Amino acid sequence: MSFEPIATPRLLLRRLELSDATTLQRLAGDPLIAATTLTIPHPYPDGAAEQFIALTQNDLEEERGLNLAIERREDHALLGVVSLAGYHPVHRRGEMGYWIGLPYWGRGYATEAAGALIRYGFEELNLNSVFARHFTTNPASGRVMQKLGMAHDGTLRQQYYKNDAFVDVAYYSLLRTEWEERTR
């Protein structure tokens, strides 16, 4: 799959490169990142960043998903990752995910990056729907989804076991028609 980076006013969403591994491991290794995300473990093992980057490159080449670096344009700092995975050509849906390193929280970067990726999904991948999910113990992630116009579809109780407890997961989605209405 050919992919050109996605630019927003403050960010560049680009392929992850092996040169990102050290920063990715440092950011993802924060215990609070692991506690608030569905798939990031703690402790974040040595070599996991390199493995993740290799998988993202393979997924992109085989058109299975986009896992993109969120880079701040002004200083090229790696802030986190935004993804659109599992998109299906027949059902035309994809699952969005994102995380931002703790030093960069509260600045609107997740909303800006996720909004750009939703636009890409509808305009370039011809998706009909984008869905996302978050731990109910991480309401900030839900607020990002709400700001993007996503509808709360429901909550699945005790869907994940994380940090020695079962955790509820809230699901959100946005349909192409809803997105088009919002962007007119």
User: Strand 78-88 relative to strand 65-72: parallel, antiparallel, unpaired?
Assistant: antiparallel
Question: CB neighbours (10 Å) of residue 69?
Answer: 23
User: What pLDDT digit, counting tens, does each position of 28-57 carry?
Assistant: 999 999 999 988 988 999 999 999 999 999
User: What pLDDT digit, counting tens, does each position of 62-96 carry?
Assistant: 888 899 999 999 999 999 999 999 887 789 999 99
Taking Cα atoms as reference points, which of 92, 183, 81, 101 lies closest to residue 131?
92
- 8 Å CB contact between 100 and 80: yes
Pull the structure tokens for residue 125: 């991948």
pTM to 2 decimals? 0.95
Coil, strand or helix: which one is 22? Answer: helix
**How far is 167 from 139, CA to CA, in rounded Å?**
13
Average pLDDT over residues 3-9: 94
| Domains within the chain, CATH numbers bracketed | 6-183 (3.40.630.30)
